[in-house]
Structure 1
Amino acid sequence: MRRNSWLPEVFNDFFDTDFMPKANATAPAINVIESDNEYKVEVAAPGMRKEDFDININQNGDLTIKMESKREKKEEDKKAHYLRREFSYSKFEQTLILPEDVDKEKIAARVEDGVLNIDLPKVVKEEVKVARQITVG
Structure 2
Amino acid sequence: MSTSVMIPKNGSFASKNTNSNFQNWSSFLDDIFSKELPSSLMSNYDSTLSLPKVNIKEDAESFIIEAAAPGLEKSDFQINLENRVLSIAVEKEVKNESENEHYRRKEFGYSSFKRSFTLPETVNEEGIKAEYKDGILNISLPKKEEAKQKPARNIEIF
Do the two structures share a fold, i.e. TM-score over 0.5? yes
Tell me which protein shows more strand as a share of its residues: 1
Are residues 1:93 and 2:150 paired? no
Say whether the 8 Å CA contact 1:75–1:83 is kept in structure 2: no
Are residues 1:61 and 2:84 paired? yes
Structure 1 residues 11-38: Cα deviation after superposition (integer angstroms, max 9, x where no partner) = xxxxxxxxxxxxxx93211111111111
Task: Give the one of 108, 115, 131 matched to 2:129.
Answer: 108
Structure 1 residues 38-61: Cα deviation after superposition (integer angstroms, max 9, x where no partner) = 111111111111111111111x22
Alignment gaps of 5+ in structure 2 = 1-48, 151-158
Runs of 4 or more, structure 1, over 4 Å off, are none
Say whether the 8 Å CA contact 1:74–1:83 is kept in structure 2: no
Alignment gaps of 5+ in structure 1 = 1-24, 128-137
**Equivalent residue number for residue 70 of structure 1:** 93
- Distance in 1 (CA, whole Å) between partners of 2:106 and 2:53 is 29
Larger RCO of the pair (alpha carbons < 8 Å, separation 6+): 1
CA RMSD of superposed structures (Å): 2.2
- Residue 77 of structure 1 deviates from its aligned partner by 4.9
The number of residues matched between the two structures is 100
